[in-house]
Structure 1
Amino acid sequence: MEGGEEQQEPEVGMCANCGFLAKLRCANCRQAFYCKRECQREHWKNGHKDQCQPFQVLESAELGRYMVASRDLKAGDVILKEDPIVVGPKQITEPICLGCYARVDGSYRCQKCNWPMCGPACESSPDHLPECVVGQEIGSPIDIANFDEPNHFYEVIFPLRCLALKKKSPKKYEQLLSLESHYEDRKGTHVHQENQKSIVNFLRNYFFIQEFPIEDIDSSEKSIHTITGITDVNSLELRLKHSEVLGLYPTFAMLEHSCTPNSKHTFNKERQVIVKAAVDIKRGEHISTMYTHVLWGTAARRDHLKHSKYFMCTCFRCSDPTELGTHFSALRCKQCPNGFMLSAAPLDELAAWICTSCNATVTSDEVKEINLKIGEEVEAALAMPSVDSLEKLVQRHGKNLVHPNHFHLFAARHTLLQMYGRDPSSAGEESMKKKEKMCQDFLKVCTALDPGMSRLAPYAGIALYEYHLAVLARARQEPDAKHVDSAALKKDVETAKALLQQCIRVLQDEPEDQPEGQLCQVAQQNLAELRQWEATLSSP
């Protein structure tokens, strides 16, 4: 079924509670019928509460399992709340507590298995139980001499916790194994070989998990590789206050990929994933998320999906050589002054790139070489950023090599727009004008690529906040800045308020313990102060 295709809802059905013919329908999921309100209330108490979702999971040969909206959804509507079936550390991580995932210094160890922990309270965490049981005979492999270095021994924790579900929670283990692992696609690859050494062999030859009963842990090499595949393909990263961990959410995993997703997700303190509509979604439309990086060009996004998720994206953004009119991957033509080079066939990795003005061509390998060179320059410039170096880089490449909106320059501009007015070398009215113009251009690209701010909320939130600072700086310099009667001053104050309000809306779902959530709180405080200043200006 194509996204957006109109579905015909049946007018009648069988009451989900008593089985009689019914016309009433659940307003949230649109799936259950009821003959009367009493039946609806009864069915809600008897299980429909846990099953009522505004989506259906369907299946096709092309997509596998996927979600469609079962009713019209407005931007901001909650689509799904789901608990993880497994949580654990990322493959390579600095030493963290295996109970609460805070950073640890090695001064306290679990009394049973010797893994570094926060203290006695975390020893009894249910999350920690699998590796604690398995590791009691051999202790922790963490070397105190090299404690502060990222440690690959943590790689085994998440797979081990997944395998332990077989005994701990057979239903969750069944859910886990229903997820796609791409086992056959991964065989023989570099990732498969690395997992064999660092996870499979380690679990079998160091932790000896094959000595546990098969009823408790399926310790075969194929099973461990299957689990690592499921983790790599389906897990989500959760940013905590002092670390990042992984979580597996089986229903969330049904969301298909799009480079222009129509849903966004965040996590609450209980580590539930909360999925909301990023834009209005019509009944019958596919619900999508994004599996790759929104700020990569098409070639990089598709290559990442090919090698990590084992499919090639053909979404609207990937199919459009201009990337939704942004020219996010476009290069300057070397043969004429006004042309830009775009892929002749974005879904063909080997296609030539053609000038929009003079029809000159370059090969895809030449494009890769140019992008690699610029990427290295941008990375080096951002390692020790200065206004002068970033300005020169953006101006030079924007005029000679790539479109001003090119994705490599996008990262540099994001840093630069924050530095204007803060760096001592960029103080003054002229820098604030540059800041305002750069924020405007930056936000246009953000809106074109991600209208619902599904993935670009942190970037857009910062740009909106910086934009308000530039407008407010001009307002405070107005000749009549002590009297709101000035039309220019009044306009600037209203603009600054609107930008702060939009910043707050964009960042409102960001966790409070993360920088984006903290910026949202700052924006709320600034908005209140701005309203007070406006009231002062208006007073006689």
Structure 2
Amino acid sequence: MEKRNGNFADFDAEDKTIPRGPESWPSEIQQCKVCDNPTRSFCKSCSSAFYCCKDHQKAHWKIHKNECFPIRVVVNDPSFGRLMVASQDLTQGQRILEEVPILITPNTRSENGITCLGCCKKLTLTTAVPCIRCGWPLCGVQCDMESLHTTNECIIFKERAIQSSMGNLGNSYQTLCEIGVLRMLLLIEREPRLWKRLLKLDSFKQTRKQVADKMFNLNSIICFIRQEVSMDIEEDLIDTAFGILRGNAFDTSDYIGFIDCCSDSVRCASVIFPTAILPGINCIPNAYYSIQGRQDGKFKIVCIASVDIANNEPISMSYEDDLTGTFLRRRVKETVFYQNCTCKLCSDPTEYGTYISSLKCTKCKIGYLLASNPLSLEPEWKCNNCKCSITHLKMLDTLQKAKLKLQSCINQTTLEKSLESMRGVTRTLLHENHFLVLQTEIEICRRILAVIGFYEIKNIISDVSRILENLIEISQHLLSVVNVLRPGYNRTRGRLLYCLQFGILVSILNDQTLQEDQPSTESMAITKKMKMEQLGRVQKEAEAILSVEVDESTEEYRMLKTLRGELKLAGKTIHL
């Protein structure tokens, strides 16, 4: 524990407290975690827990050690409100935070169709089972006996005769949001400790007044709570609960599979954590997160440093894996997370030289049409080489045409036709780095892995050599952009590094000249060595990134399991 006058001795319970410099000491007076007395002394590791004396810190350690991480929360940042900030220097790959949610509710954002209110699994009209008490949809007997539904809204729905039409419940963002707000408000009496923790989160009241919400109707939520449910709750408090849910929830269904979509056993929930928040002040994230427990419902978030993070540096995590242009990204941050982002990436018309939003200039053929004001939601687009310009509506029209053509590329009968169609769109409308082209390349990588055999490489045949070349080429191109916009450790780079190593490994195994029973010249030996060194570097980094996934329901976990088998196979099969 640290105190400004330095009179307190260090407390190193289980080596969890780490010496820190005085430059980041909080200046405000806080309450002791044990006795509520005012104090400026605090835990050196996280700077978030305050104590009046060393004895109280020791007494509180059994509780605090589960929430003692090298970050602190800044509540009243003038531009972004609530921020996570590093409380010490963090190294790449270091775990920043691990915590369990304080609220779990059916997903309020993604199109999941009918959702089990008990375990949040996706359902269909044929698999949904009415709750024996209230009639709302569940997945089966287990959730009917004991679940989040039975302990929350079920009794209320039964007593108030609030009916559900399971067919109409599908894709009803409004209905699921109303249930989420209800579960939150039930904590006021049932779990006042958790309710107080929720109230520490930002409800974005002032910002929400400036942004039209096209997904949810707040008046309908208030009517549902006060009239249908008959809860005597002030409208302002309902507004607060809605804002907390709207702006702070993580979606477990954000994990769209790299090859296959989420299975029916995966729970699609909205979860709120006491500390972890999205998306941060910088659109080039310095950290990423993994939500675990999507199969058993025991959710936990693990946050990892993507790069080295300096003491006092704000922590930013991306809310999505796919790469998108600035004008779309800023719109999502404003309408979903209530942030008017003005970070360096959003302010740069070239997007750090990647030009992922820009169009090719159809007049001079060599310039890029850049947003004249990247911070505007509807900027004019001007060529950086000639005087050509187009309106934002014209740009959107061009993107829509290109998007339709790129979607048809994915649906071609062969990979060769898909690639040729994509290159045609790239030559005529877009360019190789445009975010629509990048997203199409990711889809093609998915398709290549599926064609070759994502989990099996023992039966690879020689006629896939060209496909492997495409996989390697596309992966390297995607990584050249991702290394700029998503540097370091993150899920996107981990998946792409997996694709790259897969292509390199299988091409080596398919090359008869590299097998141990083949004669080798000096030049062939050099080629072998270079390929193996490249493979080793890529596999090592891919494993370092993917190893954070310990949840068997995630595709990253399955990738890691396959990758470790391929590491062994490469060592046994290839002779240097």
In structure 1, what is the equivalent of residue 338 of structure 2? 310
Once the two structures are overlaid, the 10-residue window that deviates more, 60-69 or 42-51, is 42-51
Cα deviation for residue 7 of structure 1 reads: 7.2
Residues 489 and 439 of structure 1: CA distance in aligned 2, closer, same or farther (over 3 Å):
same
User: Which of the residues 178, 188, 191 maps onto 1:166?
Assistant: 188
In structure 1, what is the equivalent of residue 134 of structure 2? 113
In structure 1, what is the equivalent of residue 472 of structure 2? 436
1:2-13 correspondence to structure 2 within 5 Å: 8=23
In structure 2, what is the equivalent of residue 90 of structure 1? 107
- Indicate if the aligned counterparts of 1:468 and 1:499 stay in contact, CA closer than 8 A: no
User: Which of the residues 314, 317, 325 maps onto 2:353?
Assistant: 325
1:397 aligned counterpart, secondary structure: helix
CA offsets 1:490-531 (integer angstroms, 9 cap, x no match) = 332333333333222222223321222211111111111111
- Indicate if the aligned counterparts of 2:107 and 2:176 stay in contact, CA closer than 8 A: yes
1:247 aligned counterpart, secondary structure: strand
In structure 2, what is the equivalent of residue 229 of structure 1? 243
For 2:238 and 2:97, the matched residues in 1 are separated by 29
For 2:462 and 2:340, the matched residues in 1 are separated by 44
Residues 462 and 141 of structure 1: CA distance in aligned 2, closer, same or farther (over 3 Å):
farther
User: Which of the residues 437, 440, 450 maps onto 1:412?
Assistant: 440
- Please tell me the residue identity of whatever aligns with 1:263: A
1:244 aligns with 2:268: yes
User: Which of the residues 452, 463, 473 maps onto 2:499?
Assistant: 463
For 1:421 and 1:167, the matched residues in 2 are separated by 51
- Indicate if the aligned counterparts of 2:132 and 2:144 stay in contact, CA closer than 8 A: no
Residues 285 and 197 of structure 1: CA distance in aligned 2, closer, same or farther (over 3 Å):
closer
- Indicate if the aligned counterparts of 2:93 and 2:489 stay in contact, CA closer than 8 A: no
Residues 457 and 197 of structure 1: CA distance in aligned 2, closer, same or farther (over 3 Å):
farther
1:133 aligns with 2:147: no
1:480-519 correspondence to structure 2 within 5 Å: 482=518, 486-510=525-549, 511-519=551-559
1:209 aligns with 2:190: no
- Indicate if the aligned counterparts of 1:413 and 1:438 stay in contact, CA closer than 8 A: yes
User: Which of the residues 366, 376, 384 maps onto 2:404?
Assistant: 376
For 1:342 and 1:385, the matched residues in 2 are separated by 35
For 1:474 and 1:180, the matched residues in 2 are separated by 55
- Please tell me the residue identity of whatever aligns with 2:217: N
For 1:408 and 1:255, the matched residues in 2 are separated by 22
CA offsets 1:402-441 (integer angstroms, 9 cap, x no match) = 2211100111111223445875999443333233222211
CA offsets 1:431-462 (integer angstroms, 9 cap, x no match) = 33233222211111111111124352464244
For 1:440 and 1:508, the matched residues in 2 are separated by 21
Cα deviation for residue 368 of structure 1 reads: 2.1
Once the two structures are overlaid, the 10-residue window that deviates more, 113-122 or 169-178, is 113-122
User: Which of the residues 227, 247, 259 maps onto 2:283?
Assistant: 259
In structure 1, what is the equivalent of residue 455 of structure 2? none
- Please tell me the residue identity of whatever aligns with 2:245: T
In structure 1, what is the equivalent of residue 373 of structure 2? 345
Cα deviation for residue 477 of structure 1 reads: 5.1
- Indicate if the aligned counterparts of 1:67 and 1:254 stay in contact, CA closer than 8 A: no
- Indicate if the aligned counterparts of 1:468 and 1:500 stay in contact, CA closer than 8 A: no
- Indicate if the aligned counterparts of 1:88 and 1:246 stay in contact, CA closer than 8 A: yes
Residues 322 and 531 of structure 1: CA distance in aligned 2, closer, same or farther (over 3 Å):
same
Cα deviation for residue 261 of structure 1 reads: 1.2
For 1:388 and 1:445, the matched residues in 2 are separated by 23
In structure 1, what is the equivalent of residue 118 of structure 2? 99
- Indicate if the aligned counterparts of 2:285 and 2:318 stay in contact, CA closer than 8 A: yes
Corresponding residue pairs, total: 518
For 2:145 and 2:136, the matched residues in 1 are separated by 9
- Indicate if the aligned counterparts of 2:498 and 2:563 stay in contact, CA closer than 8 A: no
For 1:477 and 1:177, the matched residues in 2 are separated by 65
Residues 350 and 421 of structure 1: CA distance in aligned 2, closer, same or farther (over 3 Å):
closer
In structure 2, what is the equivalent of residue 45 of structure 1? 61
For 1:411 and 1:254, the matched residues in 2 are separated by 22
For 2:49 and 2:169, the matched residues in 1 are separated by 55
For 1:481 and 1:417, the matched residues in 2 are separated by 32
- Indicate if the aligned counterparts of 1:439 and 1:466 stay in contact, CA closer than 8 A: no
Cα deviation for residue 246 of structure 1 reads: 0.5
- Please tell me the residue identity of whatever aligns with 2:112: T
Residues 39 and 381 of structure 1: CA distance in aligned 2, closer, same or farther (over 3 Å):
same
CA offsets 1:205-261 (integer angstroms, 9 cap, x no match) = 5xx312x4x3xxx2x555444433322211001148423110011321386242111
For 1:113 and 1:98, the matched residues in 2 are separated by 12
Cα deviation for residue 285 of structure 1 reads: 0.8
- Please tell me the residue identity of whatever aligns with 2:351: E
- Indicate if the aligned counterparts of 2:494 and 2:542 stay in contact, CA closer than 8 A: no
In structure 2, what is the equivalent of residue 3 of structure 1? none
1:252 aligned counterpart, secondary structure: coil
For 2:55 and 2:137, the matched residues in 1 are separated by 53
Cα deviation for residue 287 of structure 1 reads: 1.3
1:272 aligns with 2:286: no
Residues 167 and 31 of structure 1: CA distance in aligned 2, closer, same or farther (over 3 Å):
closer
For 1:8 and 1:337, the matched residues in 2 are separated by 53
1:288 aligned counterpart, secondary structure: coil
1:59-78 correspondence to structure 2 within 5 Å: 59-78=76-95
In structure 1, what is the equivalent of residue 71 of structure 2? 55
In structure 2, what is the equivalent of residue 289 of structure 1? 317
Residues 464 and 387 of structure 1: CA distance in aligned 2, closer, same or farther (over 3 Å):
same
- Please tell me the residue identity of whatever aligns with 1:87: I
1:264 aligned counterpart, secondary structure: strand
User: Which of the residues 395, 399, 410 maps onto 1:367?
Assistant: 395
The answer for unaligned runs of 5 or more in structure 2 is 1-20, 36-40, 254-261, 453-460
The alignment-based identity, stated in percent, is: 25
Residues 51 and 196 of structure 1: CA distance in aligned 2, closer, same or farther (over 3 Å):
closer
1:354 aligned counterpart, secondary structure: strand
Cα deviation for residue 131 of structure 1 reads: 0.9
For 1:413 and 1:53, the matched residues in 2 are separated by 38
TM-score, structure 2 length as denominator? 0.77
Residues 422 and 108 of structure 1: CA distance in aligned 2, closer, same or farther (over 3 Å):
closer
- Indicate if the aligned counterparts of 2:406 and 2:425 stay in contact, CA closer than 8 A: no
Residues 102 and 138 of structure 1: CA distance in aligned 2, closer, same or farther (over 3 Å):
same
- Indicate if the aligned counterparts of 1:85 and 1:247 stay in contact, CA closer than 8 A: yes
Cα deviation for residue 111 of structure 1 reads: 4.0
